[in-house]
Chains A and B, each alone.
Chain A
Amino acid sequence: MNPLLPAPETLPAAWGWLHGLLMVTFPLHLLAMNAMLGTAALSLLARLKGGPLDLRLARELAKVLPVLIALTVNLGVPPLLFAQVLYGPLLYTSSVLMAVFWLGVPLSLLAAYCAAYLYAYRFAAPGRWGFVPIALALALLFGIAFVFTGNMTLMLEPGRWSAYFGNRGGTLLDLGSPMFWPRYLHNVVGALAVGGLFVAVWGRARAGREPQVGERAVRLGLKVFTRLTLAELLLGAGFLLSVPRPVRGLFLGGSPVATGLLGAGALLAILALAAGVRGRVILCAGLTVPLLYLMAFMRDVLRAGILEPVFGPEALKVAPQTGPMVLFLAILVAGLAVIVWMVRKSLQAGG
């Protein structure tokens, strides 16, 4: 037992409920985040290419970006909330150890959001340096991914926490962890790949109104998706090699669940890649969404495996709050119903 590991609080519901909510909501955040990153990157790319069609595409993507940022932030709330409930002693501690960078996240988000709006509203502003706001937003978003990867890695490694006694100013980064860089590259490249696919899906939907822009978006988006997914197969393998040997073993036959997840994930990735190469946008997206869920489950198995010697659900006390939980679920269902109604009305109005 690591003496630095804080005592946990009592859980307000059985681990399974909270964990289920985490696992349902986290991939939704990933989807939105990937769409946001891909949209920003492809808008920048199209802007830099500079032809009339690419500029139109860049401009249309610029208009979508603020909505995607808002959704990404919003959908990031529940997984972070449920992760804090389940892994509080680990996550709060790692956040304190790297507090300066962690606090940099909302600041960077604010700056990226402003830059995205500036880019969208002033797209037509004189050309040569017009790409700067979106490039800045993208750089900030990559920085946020860097900090998140750092925190999610540091929380898994209580053995490295004693570095705090040499640096209490909140500037610890777990760059020395063998997992850090492979994980970061895996996350960012994967996000850009799925983001490319989002642009392709968006282009497909757009094709009815603006066929040329829609078609260009589909072509560019799928190109990014297929190339980066190929790279991702290698980067994923590299990440697997970087995790501690006993945990790696789980995915290589040691655990039927972990091995099954890895196998299913690899198969889905290859199928999605094939669909992408053939230009089957909807099929590709239909395969990629479950793939993202599988990735999230693998990540969860990896986390449980690494933490197994120091932290596990069996040690946590539970005092169920049944009424509040049922009320939350009811509000969630009602909220989703209201959203569906509003979106339908908006589409009917041509919004």
Chain B
Amino acid sequence: MNYPVWYRPGLGGGLVIAVIAIIHVFIAHFAVGGGLYLVFAERKGLGERSPGILAFTKVHARFFLLVTMVAGGMTGVGIWFAISVVQPAATSILIHVFVFAWGAEWVCFLVEIVALFIYVHTFGRMDDRTHLAIGWLYFGTAWLSLFLINGILDFMLAPGGWVANGSFWAGFFNPLFWPSLAFRTALAGLLAGVYAFLTTTFLDAGATRTAMTRFSGGWVLASYGGALLAGLWYALAVPGPARGASLASPTLHRALQAGFWALVALGLLALAFVLARPSSLSRPLAFLALLGALVLVGAVEWLREAARRPYVIHGVMYANGILAGEVDGLNRDGFLARARWAGVREAGEGNLLEAGRELFILQCYACHTLHGFNNDLAARTRNLTYPAMLAYLGTLHDRRPFMPPFAGSAEEARALAAFIVKGVHGRELPAGAPEGGGGRALFEANCTACHDEGLVRTRTAGWGRARLRAALDHLSGLNPGMTDYDGTPQDKDLLADYLAAAEGGAR
């Protein structure tokens, strides 16, 4: 609410960040692990006096330079530019709290560039010891970059003591710092080995190719084991509230599934190349392994993002840029009056739709598109009537802990509900209470966020009033994805009456 919102309702800024971030994170981790791989591969070549392995390492290094400098460097800039236009308020906090960490990371980036260019261009022209030392310097600064960025990234999910004391060190060495560092280091090694699978396929079949396939497979398996252990440590270290909120998210389950299958595929491929038949490594299989690694990284990042919700900085700032500490004041005094970049300053009967649109842009659009690919609000509110929408807004955060609460006055909640129901779906707003009495009103307020009436009728056909009433006492028993209804016994009676009557009517 401090900054304007870049508003592209069909696109959504989150998607822009996600696409760039997944590619960048993939390459950035690979840039770290790849440095170590290069040094070890060169050492192996020197130790075994193998011109083949050294030639392979040289070619691998050149590809490595292209991928990390061009794609890695530019997507790194891209992610910075993207977060600054999609999440300017949170970016501003991260930049101000950690400017010296970012600065140190820049120094590492500079040393990495110089080291990598020199390493690649002096291959075979410099004495071995110095050349290896430059390789180590590249890896050391790349890993230090990871160390620095890791502290800032984890701060967003678990800011730790910083919330209370504002200390740089408390925020940087937050509760997730060490497990995350271990996990990301292992992930970096894994990606380096997987990438090496691909460059190995450019070698002619023979002893060198077999040796490097085995070497890369061993590399992947060792990192794989490390990543599993460190990943478990990381998952256990995620603070309870973040874990609880994210477990309620349906997208998290999809990310978990994708990550799991990617892990299985990678493990099997690595085992096959090391133990069974290194000669079976082909370019399509190497690409498959690379794709598996990309899916794995995507799933990990997705999980991290999901765990952070509804915040962008956990416990401090919601994903829509509203500070957690501001919500009570905004509920009391109104949101629009205090939002700098609102086009209207208050909501009233005369401007419900206009004010509602402003509220949508400033509070919902951070996560929801309108008729877009990602998290389309129009699709999610298709069944909601105006009273249901209004009731839903009042309990948004309680029902869906991964969503921020609506912040604003009662009039502003009406405006947002009106915008979604009439402005988005084109339905007229009701003049009075809905027909069907209290049961209908309760149904609209509590059920239609997830089910339309037809679906409920289909699912409860033939149940009768007594079974319906009993089910209302324990909805999660019907489906673990449903939250239990917290209405009074009288409300449940009314709702059961309504559903039973509707069922009778349907018959």
Contacts and interface: CB of A to CB of B under 8 A. Distances in A.
A279 interface: no
Interface string B90-115: 01110111011111101111110111
Interface stretch (B81-89, B217-225, B428-436): B81-89
Contacts, number: 186
Nearest to B115: A342
A170 to B, nearest CB: 4
Name the interface size band of chain A: 35 or more
A74 B77 CA distance: 9
Contacts of B8: 169-170
B134 A342 contact: yes
Q: Is the interface of B mostly helix, strand, loop or mixed?
A: helix
B100 A12 contact: yes
B3 A103 contact: no
A324 B111 CA distance: 20
A9 B361 CA distance: 23
A74 B343 CA distance: 38
Contacts of A74: 73, 106, 109-110, 113
A310 interface: no
A99 B83 CA distance: 11
A73 B3 contact: no
Given A93-B4, A169-B8, A335-B107, A324 B96 contact: no
A275 B137 CA distance: 41
B78 interface: yes
Given A110-B74, A339-B111, A169 B6 contact: yes
B4 A164 contact: yes
A107 to B, nearest CB: 7
A103 B78 CA distance: 7
Interface residues of B, number: 62
Contacts of B102: 81
B115 to A, nearest CB: 6
A351 B118 CA distance: 7
Contact of A117 (B70, B96, B101): B70
A109 B81 CA distance: 12
B261 interface: no
Interface string A311-335: 0000000010101110110011001
B202 interface: no
B340 A82 contact: no
Interface string A61-81: 000001100110111011001
Nearest to B85: A99
A192 B108 CA distance: 29
A21 B226 CA distance: 40
B321 to A, nearest CB: 10
Interface of B: 2-8, 16, 66, 69-71, 73-75, 77-78, 81-82, 84-85, 88-89, 91-93, 95-97, 99-104, 106-111, 113-115, 117-118, 121-122, 125-127, 130, 134, 137, 141, 166, 168-169, 340-341, 343, 361
